[in-house]
Amino acid sequence: MTTKPNILFILSDQHTPDVLGCYGDPIVRTPNLDRLARAGVMFENAYTPSPICVPARMSLLTGNFPFRQQCWTNSDALASDIPTAAHALGSVGYFPTLIGRLHAIGPDQLHGFARREIGDHMTDWYGGRPYTMGVLDKAQRPFPESLINSGPGQTSYELLDREVTHRTLQVLDEIAASRRAGDTRPFSLNVGFILPHQPYVARPDLFEYYLDKVEPPRLPRPNEPADSYLVWWRRQTGLDKVNAADEMRARAAYYAMVDTLDGMIGQILDQLETLGLAENTLIIYASDHGDQLGERGLWWKQTFYEQSVKVPLLMSWPGMLPAATRRDQIVNLVDLTATIVQAAGADPLPGIDGRSLLQLARNPDTEWDNKTFSEYCTDGMQAWSGGRVLQSRMIR
């Protein structure tokens, strides 16, 4: 066993904890994430720093809330001079490796990682709106086609995630071979999946399995005048065109995508065990934000409702963290940055917002400031605000 732990961080995209067996969903099949929860600590009240992809992910890299690094939208680049957890790991002997999705905007596609295997699904650019991908725009962007055309099939997102899984297994093989050759250095491996992000299209067999099992949304749609912004947002995104059958197909496909994701994660966990690499490995699973899945008539993310802003968070570290444990304190993805840095024995990143979760994971009576924040400010709000960019914050 090395003195410093190995670190395996698995990050998915748009996975609400409402569709996860260990968080109480009785329908979805997630045996691998469920076993990770049994092996470690499950945080029941984990939140994203922003309910949209890029700001959440950049905050996760640095441990800062979006306002501190002026990264609020999916078109904002994180400045390369802002230190990240990957920089900290590199300073204490790790060779931080990233496989798959990062979703960083701009020329810096490493942000401290020493090695990157497999990039994002598409080129990331400054200011996405002037660009077009033709008919693919409707699948990529949050328009109603992702629900109206939902159902059985296979997306390029799933294909990329399968390649990410395959390459991760290869890298673990390489690490095991180097260990047999006498290399005792710990590894740091970040694995980025895109599933279960829309479009809501999934393998036909899994889609059919869930189609007659999923339940319709429970919470009613927004009404004027109390929810005037959300009424406008539904119209702006075309959700008024979506019918009940569309919603049920999309929900079934989402469940199927989570099932598929869980299978890929299971391959990685199995490989870790088979190669004898699990003993001193800190494993973290999280997602960048949730998905509303039709609750209140809303889909995707971009609100501060629980289905959008709450995320799954599982941590396992044999012998160092308790097993089969739940924590109900309020935590945030930015806390993972401080957690990883502390676990690696690196110097804390200066002045960050995140707090290490290690002591809380070990002791439920740890003194903890039980509140957190989430921010949202993105281009679509300009139409609502008469062209002025508005910023919204959730405080819990």
What does the alpha-carbon distance between residue 7 and residue 345 come to, in Å, rounded to a whole number?
12
Q: What is the pLDDT of residue 383?
A: 39
Within a domain: residue 373? no
Number of residues written out for the chain: 396
Cα angle 151-153-154, degrees, rounded to a multiple of 5: 125
Q: Closest by alpha carbon to 296, among 224, 244, 239, 219?
A: 219
Within a domain: residue 396? no
What does the alpha-carbon distance between residue 53 and residue 330 come to, in Å, rounded to a whole number?
21
Residue 54's pLDDT band, with cuts at 50, 70 and 90, is confident
Could you list the residue range(s) of the whole structural domain that residue 283 is in?
6-367
Q: What is the pLDDT of residue 297?
A: 84
What does the alpha-carbon distance between residue 281 and residue 286 come to, in Å, rounded to a whole number?
16
Residue that is written with structure tokens 């921010």 in the block: 375
The H or E element containing residue 97 is strand 97-100
Burial group, residue 55, by CB count within 10 angstroms (0-12, 13-18, 19+): buried
Q: Are 91 and 395 in contact (CB under 8 A)?
A: no
Within a domain: residue 33? yes
Cβ-based neighbour number of residue 173 at 10 Å: 13
Question: Whole-model pTM?
Answer: 0.90
Burial group, residue 360, by CB count within 10 angstroms (0-12, 13-18, 19+): buried
- Sequence-ordered alpha helix ranges (H) in 275-333: 306-309
CATH code of the domain containing 258: 3.40.720.10
Q: Closest by alpha carbon to 222, among 208, 235, 209?
A: 235
Residue 335 tokens, joined: 């806390």
Within a domain: residue 301? yes
Beta-carbon-side half-sphere exposure of residue 283 (alpha carbons within 13 Å): 29
- pLDDT tens, 232-288? 777 777 888 889 999 999 999 999 999 999 999 999 999 999 999 999 999 999 999
Q: What is the pLDDT of residue 74?
A: 75
What does the alpha-carbon distance between residue 77 and residue 80 come to, in Å, rounded to a whole number?
9
Within a domain: residue 315? yes
pLDDT exceeds 50 at position 10: yes
Q: What is the pLDDT of residue 393?
A: 56
Structural domain count of the chain: 1
Within a domain: residue 114? yes
Residue 43 tokens, joined: 């945080």
Q: What is the pLDDT of residue 346?
A: 95
Q: What is the pLDDT of residue 149?
A: 85
Q: Closest by alpha carbon to 233, among 151, 304, 288, 137?
A: 304
- pLDDT tens, 12-48? 999 999 999 999 999 999 999 999 999 999 999 999 9
Q: What is the pLDDT of residue 394?
A: 54
Within a domain: residue 390? no
Cα angle 3-334-64, degrees, rounded to a multiple of 5: 110
Q: What is the pLDDT of residue 43?
A: 98
249: left (phi over 0), alpha (psi -120 to 50) or beta: alpha
The H or E element containing residue 262 is helix 244-274
The least confident of 145-159, 166-180, 348-362 is 145-159
Per cent of the chain over pLDDT 70 is 86
Q: Closest by alpha carbon to 198, among 247, 165, 240, 164?
A: 247
- pLDDT tens, 122-152? 544 334 444 455 544 444 444 678 888 899 9
Within a domain: residue 380? no
pLDDT exceeds 50 at position 156: yes
Q: Are 241 and 299 in contact (CB under 8 A)?
A: no
Burial group, residue 26, by CB count within 10 angstroms (0-12, 13-18, 19+): exposed
* 95 alpha carbon, distance to own chain's centre: 22
What does the alpha-carbon distance between residue 216 and residue 297 come to, in Å, rounded to a whole number?
11
Q: Phi, psi (5° rounding) for residue 359?
A: -65, -40
Per cent of the chain over pLDDT 90 is 63
